Amino acid sequence: MVIYLDNNATTCIDPDVLAAMMPYLSDFYGNPSSMHSFGGQVGVAVQDARRQVAQLLGAEDTEIIFNSCGSEGNNTAIHAALAAQPDKRHIVTTAVEHPAILNVCKHLEKKGYTVTYLSVNEQGELDLMELEAAMTGGTALVSTMYANNETGVIFPVEQVGAIAKYYGATFHVDAVQAVGKVPIDLKSSTIDLLTLSGHKLHAPKGIGALYVRRGFRFRPFLLGGHQERGRRAGTQNVPGIVALGKAAELAQQYLQSVDTEEDHRNTLENQLLATIPDCAVNGGGAPRLPNTTNIGFKYIEGEAILYMLNREGICASSGSACTSGSLDPSHVLMSMGLPYTILHGSIRFSLSRFTTAADIQQVLAVMPDIVNRLRDMSPFSNDQAGWLQERDLVRAG
Amino acid sequence: MWDYSEKVLELFYNPLNQGAIADLNEPDVSVVYGEVGSIACGDALRLHLKIQVSADTVLDARFQTFGCTSAIASSSALTEIVKGKTLDEALNLSNQDIAEYLGGLPEAKMHCSVMGQEALEAAIYKYRGIAIADHADDDGTLLCTCYGISEPKVRRIITENQLTTVEQVTNYIKAGGGCGSCLAGIEDLLLEAQSPETVAVAVAQQNNLSQSSNHSAPFATANPSTSTLASPPLTTIEKIMQIQQVIDDEVRPVLMADGGDVTLYDVQGDRVLVKLQGACGSCSSSTDTLKYAIEAQLQRRVLSTLVVEAIAH
């Protein structure tokens, strides 16, 4: 029995989503672009899905472009924004974005663009004054995430968007972690472009969408046929699109009862803090997604915690260097300036609507012993020899 | 998840020799610990040794580790390996010995075994009164500023583990894993290590290892850099002449540049007796000089079984 608390990495496919898409993997295999009725009925399904996604976002059907994933959406959005204002060569983003934004920006820097990476404070929050100070008349794009994938901290996107609009910049939001978890209404929004990904909201991997505000001067990133009204070439992934549509419909329903998920998260968080000394919620003082908690356990290392959890059948995630190909810990937690004592031992638990109270109780049952065992081994837990330095206890800087 | 061996997981979930060693002031016993790493680097190890002074032998070893699965398993493995060894034997243990004991480590985790070997060295150096700051690895140009790794250390790890790529160096000691500004420097050291002369020695070592691969002792393939060179075996006179030549041509110029000197006193089997002179004679890091500047060079250039000892003036 697996207790899956890594839903910010990916989610299970909702059984109803699977049921909705299955016919399009077997019987209804026509090409939605075909002129015959066999393809035409598939085209109707695609349009239905477009409407379902648009409704989740408070958007119009024609504002939704289906694509393959969040990375494609982010790449497309950035390139579209720059193509819309080719005389502007400045981009503003944040230091805690997903690599699908950061690496594109680094690439563009090599191409002659200037990029400002906004910092965050210890709670993972943006400083709007810093944003305003960074803006110039030459700023083509402001791109921020809606909510951070590691901490769940939600950015004040409408305030960011207002500043971007004031300076005539396009405003893109990477909402991959937020869509389906918090209500989003784009009708009255400052957002021009918004990215979402299916596998974060119980649809399969390989399907995503980009919202493009009506009237935005959009230039396609992927050239070819006339699919998606010429804005994204390539034969449509019909089963994925149908699945995303159904997932969006279910998410909209679920948003009415998301308190359950948040209650589970709060129970987990509060009980862990109550039973385990020397731990803290990273970003706990900021507005956050209801499904995410990122807790730093002082003096121990994240991978070791994950392996202990894994032996108990519990799946979570860590921002430690040892879980990744990099040798540095999470760039998000680093940017927050967390002390080294907590930086390497941070664990993300991300829940979904399928998380049960029993799942939470099982985590609460095993975590204290896991932390105690590792702290018993750690030379820093009882640092009688004074190995820790002052800098380890304050900020990583 | 990483592809850890059963042994790694066993020692992670059920670590042996965890904790500290209390110093009970027992006669003929000394307790010491060595530390490497830091919480900033993401892994750290404090290795405790209980040493029988008269026998110069490790009676007991325990560890305290901050780190990942493989760091904990490597620390535990090290404590098992080192118990019962003389300090000289312990100093000859390499990170490869730790990795082999564990049934191998993912290459990206080899730095955990290096950390173990370094903690062992730190503990023994501390016991012998050699300041860590005098360690040969810490001298010289700092190559990787992110992780505080010196050029000599990178050079030594490349040689000891026969590394050929920058990625391997990063996996073994983290150098280059931060900002990346030292990657070109690491490449230079790799090219230097792959010079024709070095390659010839490596080939000879490999031949020798192949010939002796039927043994099954756990440390039989210990540090390749200290393996015996290929046959034919040297006669006594050849051995002495070659030792003299390496000392004159390669060792003395280096020592003399620092105000020191060395002369060959005698060769008794594989024991090379030398006199340290000038600054080397009174230097607090003379053990380092013997081990790294002279013994290691003679082992590389003449015979891997040579042991260098300094005699009194």
Compute the C-alpha angle A233/A56/A241, nearest 5°.
35
Read off the pLDDT of each residue in B187-191 and give the average, rounded to a whole number.
Answer: 89
The mean predicted confidence, pLDDT, of chain A is 94
Burial category of B91 from C-beta neighbours within 10 Å (exposed 0-12, middle 13-18, buried 19 and up):
middle
Read off the pLDDT of each residue in A278-295 and give the average, rounded to a whole number.
Answer: 97
Q: In what order do the strands lie in the sheet with B307-310?
A: B260-268, B271-278, B307-310
Is A22 in contact with A213 (CB distance < 8 Å)?
no
Give the model's pLDDT for residue A397.
46
What pLDDT, in 10s, does the model give residues A238-275?
A: 999 999 999 999 999 999 876 889 999 999 999 999 99
ipTM (interface predicted TM) = 0.90
Token representation of residue A137: 């008349």
Confidence band for B143, pLDDT divided at 50, 70 and 90: confident
C-alpha to C-alpha distance for A319 and A330, rounded to whole angstroms: 5
Least confident of A283-287, A319-323, A335-339, B71-75: A319-323
Question: How many other CB atoms are there within 10 angstroms of residue A224's CB atom?
Answer: 11
What pLDDT, in 10s, does the model give residues A25-46?
A: 999 999 999 989 999 999 999 9
Closest Cβ–Cβ partner in A307, A341, A391 for B12: A307
Strands (E), B53-122: 57-66
* Minimum distance, in Å, between the CA of residue B306 and any CA atom of chain A: 38
B6-13 vs B69-82: helix crossing angle, rounded to 10 = 90
A301, B19: Cβ pair inside 8 Å? no
pLDDT for residue B213 is more than 60: no
A385, B40: Cβ pair inside 8 Å? no
pLDDT for residue A335 is more than 90: yes
Residues of chain A found within 8 Å of residue B174, distances taken between Cβ atoms: 327
Is A128 in contact with A163 (CB distance < 8 Å)?
yes
Read off the pLDDT of each residue in A107-136 and give the average, rounded to a whole number.
Answer: 97
Residues of chain B found within 8 Å of residue A377, distances taken between Cβ atoms: 15, 18, 63-66, 72
B4-8 contacts at long range (C-beta below 8 A, 24 or more positions apart): B4/B69, B4/B70, B4/B73, B4/B105, B4/B106, B5/B102, B5/B103, B5/B104, B5/B105, B6/B103, B7/B73, B7/B77, B7/B101, B7/B102, B7/B103, B8/B69, B8/B70, B8/B73, B8/B102, B8/B103, B8/B105
A394 touches chain B (CB under 8 A): no
More confident residue, B268 or A293: A293
Give the model's pLDDT for residue B214.
40
Picking from B280, B31, B243, the residue whose alpha carbon sits closest to that of residue B136 is B280
Confidence band for B310, pLDDT divided at 50, 70 and 90: confident
B166-173 vs B183-193: helix crossing angle, rounded to 10 = 110
A381: nearest CA in chain B?
A: B66
Q: What percentage of chain A carries pLDDT values higher than 90?
A: 90
Interface of A with B in 75-94 (CB under 8 A): none
What pLDDT, in 10s, does the model give residues A200-221?
A: 999 999 999 999 999 999 999 9
Picking from B108, B80, B59, the residue whose alpha carbon sits closest to that of residue B15 is B80
Catalytic annotation, residues of B: 41, 112
A279 as an active site residue: the answer is no
Closest Cβ–Cβ partner in B45, B67, B177 for A327: B177
Closest Cβ–Cβ partner in A303, A329, A379 for B46: A379
Annotated catalytic residue, options A105, A279, A315, A322: A322
**Amino acid letter, B133:** A
Confidence band for B277, pLDDT divided at 50, 70 and 90: confident
Picking from A255, A254, A244, A256, the residue whose alpha carbon sits closest to that of residue A51 is A244
Read off the pLDDT of each residue in A68-95 and give the average, rounded to a whole number.
Answer: 97
Closest Cβ–Cβ partner in B12, B40, B66 for A378: B66
Confidence band for B251, pLDDT divided at 50, 70 and 90: confident
Give the model's pLDDT for residue A391.
64
Least confident of A307-316, A330-339, A384-393, B31-40: A384-393
Least confident of A20-29, A263-272, A335-344, B268-277: B268-277
Give the three-state DSSP class for A226: coil
Token representation of residue B239: 């051995």
Read off the pLDDT of each residue in B68-90 and give the average, rounded to a whole number.
Answer: 97
Q: What percentage of chain B carries pLDDT values higher than 90?
A: 40
Compute the C-alpha angle A192/A197/A203, nearest 5°.
140
Give the model's pLDDT for residue A324.
66
B42, A304: Cβ pair inside 8 Å? no
